[in-house]
Chains A and B, each alone.
Chain A
Amino acid sequence: MNDRLRRNAGADAGDDQGEMSFRHRPDQRVLDALIQGRLPAEHDGLADVAAFVDAVRLEATVVPRPTAELAAVLDEGITVGPAVRPVDDGAEPSRGRRPSARPVRRTRQAFGSLVASVAAMGLATKAAVASTAVLAATAGAGFGGVLPTPVQAPFDQVVGIDRTEEELDRRDGGPATPDDAPGSPDEGPASTGGTVRDGPDRSGDARRDRPEEGTRLGDGVSGDATQEDDPGVDGAEVGDDASDGQSEDARHGAGDPGGDVGEAPPEDRGAEVEQPPASTDQQEAPPVDPPADPPPADLPPADPPPADPQAGADGSETAPRDAVPSSELQPENQPAPDPGSDARRGATGGRQ
């Protein structure tokens, strides 16, 4: 240790050759001042070094000529990295695309994971999952009321859903006859449910505006009435409706799929059926003027049905409409000649 210190000290002394500054190690502050060109005057032994330092600094004062690329940047500025963009640059920052890209990436990842999970399942598991998915989708659609009408009606019966007219309007966008209407949902919404319920005058307007829809609905009624698999279950419902003090017309109308009144709540059916729709008028029944007022409470109940469907001002207006399909259906599955029964059967067929 002492030898090394002695050797270093000797080297310094020998190199300095009498220079005062290096006989002992100069203070760091002196060196800093020397390098910065602020050498105190008392350090004359370092004057040459201080002059050399100044000469070195002079070497670094000439601004060079930039390359063409750098000159362009200095003249026009530069579009710097992703975090910052030039103030005068109107372009969208590249960072702006990231937020929209991330959800897409996440969605893709989630979808990929789902596909991988399904692929890893066994055959039985896949079948079970698929069945569950279909069942859930069907149930959801059924509760949402977006199933096709022939499926939606039984679904509603099974689960006991009593849909309001608004729901039916929303679902079908057409004839608000979810239980009875055999037609497609695109059969004129305004000309059927809404108008009949609101009043006869409007119903008449609807008939005048769109008579062909009524015709189609009437065809549907006939088709429903002639179905062989008609269980006739809903005839009891019609009977119940009739027993509530409503007229035969009301009972018939409640079961009349072509009457555009099945959409209404049960308590409104009596009033609605007094307004025969255009469809039945044109094809199966003579046009009648539906009364604007609800039916009187003292009208005869469903039993006994009128012997002559054509007779009676009120009771006859719907009987001929159903008499035709009933007669057609009679040899097959309608043993009773009672037109009221036919009407009830028609109602049942329409609900299927």
Chain B
Amino acid sequence: MALGPAFDDVLAAARTGAAWALQRLYEDLAGTVTGYLRLRGATDADDVASEAFLSIFRALHGFEGDEAAFRSWVFTIVHHRLIDERRRAERRPRTESVDEAGEIASGDVEREALDRLGGSWVQEVLGTLSADQREVLLLRIVADLSVEDVAGILGKRAGAVRALQYRGIQSLRRQLEQRGSLSGRPAGDGR
């Protein structure tokens, strides 16, 4: 998953715009970024991820740091891209019928997006969490960031992030218990 010792060389080449280095970085992070966006309820996670990577590649000359710092920097950009995409989605006129809109309107845009995407058992469970808990857990689990990095991205204190993480896991445990054991989930629902 991680580039490890080769990271410095790859980054140096990528900063010069070398295609092979950009491909290495993309292959290393694209799945994680897109998964994070998808689980956060992005309408078109692939497109948002591509836009985010274009921004990342164009801004590479301004980055200094190791691989962990690079990962944190990438998800900072992705996080802001997602926020922008959410704002654009909110400004877009909706086409649902009145009944449809009444059914899904719950005040949580991210949860609504997850509901609209539907299907995935993981997304359903995540949809039961608060937005803050979901953000913290996804950045911790998917992006594999430290509490401090997550705090930096979200603009929160590390203690607040730890508290959200704890409550999120507690909430997950309750949801999983209510839904029965993971072995009892619908067959073929691997996602």
A residues lining the B interface (CB < 8 Å):
12, 15, 17, 19, 21-22, 25-26, 28, 31, 34-36, 45-46, 48-49, 51-53, 55-67, 69-70, 73-89
List chain A residues, Cβ under 8 A from B182: 48, 51-52, 55
A60-B36 contact, Cβ under 8 Å, with A77-B18, A78-B57: yes
Q: A74-B19, A81-B60 are in contact. List 14 more A-B contacts (CB 8 A).
A: A25-B166, A31-B162, A31-B166, A48-B173, A48-B177, A60-B31, A63-B26, A66-B26, A73-B54, A78-B17, A78-B19, A80-B61, A83-B61, A89-B17
Mark contacts of B1-18 with chain A using CB atoms, 8 A cut-off: 1 yes-contact digit, 0 otherwise.
Answer: 000000000000101111
Query: Are the CB atoms of B30 and A15 closer together than 8 Å?
Result: no
Roughly how many angstroms separate A88 CA and B18 CA in the complex, as a whole number? 8
Q: Which of A15, A25, A26, A67 has the most CB of B within 10 A?
A: A67
A86-B16 contact, Cβ under 8 Å, with A31-B165, A49-B169: yes
Q: Which of B17, B23, B126, B174 has the most CB of A within 10 A?
A: B17
Query: Are the CB atoms of A59 and B39 closer together than 8 Å?
Result: yes
Roughly how many angstroms separate A84 CA and B27 CA in the complex, as a whole number? 23
List chain B residues, Cβ under 8 A from A49: 169, 172-173, 176
Query: Are the CB atoms of A80 and B142 closer together than 8 Å?
Result: no
Query: Are the CB atoms of A59 and B17 closer together than 8 Å?
Result: no
Query: Are the CB atoms of B35 and A81 closer together than 8 Å?
Result: no
Contact residues, B157-191 vs A (CB, 8 A): 162, 165-166, 169-170, 172-174, 176-177, 181-182, 190-191
B59 within 8 Å of A (CB atoms): yes
Query: Are the CB atoms of A28 and B162 closer together than 8 Å?
Result: yes
List chain B residues, Cβ under 8 A from A15: 170, 174
List chain A residues, Cβ under 8 A from B30: 63-64, 66
Q: Which of B125, B137, B141 has the most CB of A within 10 A?
A: B141
B148 within 8 Å of A (CB atoms): no
Query: Are the CB atoms of A59 and B173 closer together than 8 Å?
Result: no
List chain B residues, Cβ under 8 A from A64: 30-31, 34, 45-46, 49-50
Chain B interface, number of residues (Cβ within 8 angstroms):
57
B144 within 8 Å of A (CB atoms): yes
Chain A's closest residue to B52 (CB) is A70
Roughly how many angstroms separate A62 CA and B31 CA in the complex, as a whole number? 5
List chain A residues, Cβ under 8 A from B58: 78, 80-81
List chain A residues, Cβ under 8 A from B15: 80, 84
Contact residues, B96-137 vs A (CB, 8 A): 120-122, 125-126, 137
Which of B53, B60, B122, B138 meets A52, CB within 8 Å? B122
Roughly how many angstroms separate A15 CA and B144 CA in the complex, as a whole number? 28
List chain B residues, Cβ under 8 A from A65: 46
| A52 smallest CB distance to B (angstroms) | 6
Query: Are the CB atoms of B19 and A84 closer together than 8 Å?
Result: no
Query: Are the CB atoms of A52 and B19 closer together than 8 Å?
Result: no
Q: Which of A15, A60, A76, A80 has the most CB of B within 10 A?
A: A60
B residues lining the A interface (CB < 8 Å):
13, 15-19, 22-23, 26-27, 30-32, 34-36, 38-39, 45-47, 49-51, 53-54, 57-62, 120-122, 125-126, 137-138, 140-142, 144, 162, 165-166, 169-170, 172-174, 176-177, 181-182, 190-191
Q: Which of A15, A28, A35, A58 has the most CB of B within 10 A?
A: A35
Ranked nearest first, the 7 interchain pairs of A and B with the lowest CB-CB distance are A60-B35, A86-B17, A77-B19, A67-B50, A64-B46, A64-B34, A70-B50
List chain A residues, Cβ under 8 A from B51: 67
| A39 smallest CB distance to B (angstroms) | 11
Query: Are the CB atoms of A60 and B34 closer together than 8 Å?
Result: yes
Chain B's closest residue to A65 (CB) is B46
Roughly how many angstroms separate A76 CA and B54 CA in the complex, as a whole number? 13
List chain B residues, Cβ under 8 A from A52: 122, 125, 172, 176, 182
List chain A residues, Cβ under 8 A from B19: 73-78
A62-B35 contact, Cβ under 8 Å, with A75-B19, A80-B16: yes
Roughly how many angstroms separate A19 CA and B165 CA in the complex, as a whole number? 18
Roughly how many angstroms separate A17 CA and B174 CA in the complex, as a whole number? 10
Chain B's closest residue to A21 (CB) is B173
A80-B173 contact, Cβ under 8 Å, with A66-B53, A88-B18: no
List chain A residues, Cβ under 8 A from B17: 77-80, 84-87, 89
Which of A21, A46, A56, A61 meets B122, CB within 8 Å? A56
Query: Are the CB atoms of A59 and B169 closer together than 8 Å?
Result: no
Which of B22, B27, B47 meets A67, CB within 8 Å? B47
Query: Are the CB atoms of B59 and A73 closer together than 8 Å?
Result: no
Roughly how many angstroms separate A34 CA and B38 CA in the complex, as a whole number? 22
Roughly how many angstroms separate A59 CA and B137 CA in the complex, as a whole number? 14
| B73 smallest CB distance to A (angstroms) | 15
List chain A residues, Cβ under 8 A from B165: 31, 35
